[in-house]
Amino acid sequence: MSISKGEPDQDVSEALAIGDHKAPPKTSRNPKRTYAAILEAATDEFAAHGFGGARIDAIAARAKTNKRMLYHYFGDKEALYLAVLEAAYASIRTAEKSLDLTHREPEAGMRELALFTWHYFLGHPEFLSLLATENMLQAQYLKRSARIAEMHSHLIAEMADVLRRGGQAGLFRPKVDPVSVYLTIAALGYFYLSNRHTLSTIFGRKLEAPDAIEAWGEHIVSVTLASIKA
């Protein structure tokens, strides 16, 4: 399996050697744009149909390119799927850096992280779909990633710092595990959204209503802080 590293190169001659010999689409003249278009199209396709149901032809059509270009940049379907997973995780981890937890007061920092995670889940349903697919596959492809552990290290380090400072100030319990705290935040958001249709039916509540969404965000904050306060 070949996995593309870094930015796509300028030479598309390899792509022309694969499949038919028709002229490449105009998007191939801008390698970065073509690479990004394929990645975006693949994200939509894998999120909508899972790994097994996603089709290379459909991804190429969404990206307005052809399979030759897709294989040139990503190698094969498995490598493309892994690239999509890595990009999805990179997106949320990059966005989290804007919280600047290191320079926030402990309680405010944890509140902001909880709300950020909830709002990110709300705004990126494709991320939750990809998580569901990869969990069904028992992280078969994510385990192949050489980047995933490093990608998450800064979040855990910043959370550990916030929790440590909160403990020293007497606000939080000492030696709180940052991974456990993050699992609490993520679980409360993920379960609500992934089961909202069945839960709305069972309990007769409109869990997608704006007021319900806002109230659940505050509930996530309350539960998170209650679990770590001294």
Residue 4 has pLDDT above 60, yes or no: no
Query: In the chain, how many domains are there?
Result: 2
What's the predicted TM-score (pTM) here? Answer: 0.85
The Cα–Cα gap between 55 and 210 comes to 35
**Distance in angstroms between the alpha carbons of the first and the last residue of the chain:** 50
Separation in Å, CA 185 to CA 66, 115, 141, 165, 181? 41, 9, 25, 19, 6
pLDDT score at 206: 97
Flag whether 2 is in a domain. Answer: no
Query: How much of the chain, in percent, has pLDDT values that exceed 90?
Result: 84
98 and 43 part of one domain: no
The amino acid at residue 97 is: K
23, 42, 75 - which closes a domain: 75
In 10 A of CB 147, how many CB atoms?
A: 12
60 and 139 part of one domain: no
189 and 109 part of one domain: yes
Residue appearing with tokens 């939750």: 128
Residue appearing with tokens 């069972």: 202
Flag whether 100 is in a domain. Answer: yes
More confident residue, 4 or 138: 138
> What is the CATH classification number for the domain harbouring 140?
1.10.357.10
